[in-house]
Amino acid sequence: MSEATSRLKVGLDVPWVTSWSEEPQLGVGPCPSVDGELAIAQAEKPGRGRPLYSRNHLFRQRKSVREMLCPMCGQPTAEGDRWSQTGHPTTAGELRLRGFGPALPADMADGQALLNCGAIAPLHRACAEASLARCPHLGGMEDKTLKAFPTAWVVIPLWVEAKPEAPHARPVPVVSFLQLVGVEG
């Protein structure tokens, strides 16, 4: 049963970026989504088994941020049609205090306004409105205003430690997800 193809449609009923139960993690390897750096790999079988709504697929998530693909439908978003539902305003100074300094350009002023989108790339307006109507979690949000995503941004790799299988091997840093921070003009 668990191998069955779901009747739920990827990109319509279930966000393209969502993991499915038939997509196990596959360990660590160089990944094109992070220019060949080591990253956590995951099987690609969207639509198989059941959707794991609270888990983004590692590769599709990184690809969505790198290539500005809408996490709902998986298609590219164009400048002017990029909208964030869950991003929140912050500043470069605040992110530096939280330890993200090395990922920000050194010459960026502390007062620079940013839109921290976490792991969620901006959506097409039509996709954002459809998912607000369908997704109970998003529907319950206090602030349902769609925020226009800026035309500039910074991508921050989120590193975790992976333990190689060889005995006594040292843990190596590998990328899990990519965090996206819009830079307000």
| Cα separation of the two ends of the chain | 51
* CB nearer Zn ion, residue 108 or residue 130: 130
Q: For 178, phi and psi rounded to 5 degrees? A: -110, 130
Q: How far is the CB of 13 from Zn ion (least distance, A)?
A: 14
- Cα–Cα distance measured from residue 162 to residue 38, given in angstroms and rounded to the nearest whole number: 10
The structure tokens listed for 157 are 């790799």
Tell me the C-alpha to C-alpha distance, in Å, between residue 73 and each of 30, 70, 99, 106, 154.
26, 6, 32, 35, 22
Interface residue list for Zn ion (CB under 5 A) = 70, 72-73, 124, 127
- 3-class secondary structure, 64: helix
* CB nearer Zn ion, residue 4 or residue 12: 12
Tell me the C-alpha to C-alpha distance, in Å, between residue 173 and each of 77, 89, 114, 131.
31, 29, 27, 34
Q: How far is the CB of 60 from Zn ion (least distance, A)?
A: 13
* CB nearer Zn ion, residue 38 or residue 132: 132
Q: How far is the CB of 146 from Zn ion (least distance, A)?
A: 13
Q: Which residue, 67, 84, 60, is CA-closest to 176? A: 60
Q: How far is the CB of 98 from Zn ion (least distance, A)?
A: 30
Q: How far is the CB of 68 from Zn ion (least distance, A)?
A: 11
* CB nearer Zn ion, residue 19 or residue 77: 77
* CB nearer Zn ion, residue 49 or residue 182: 182
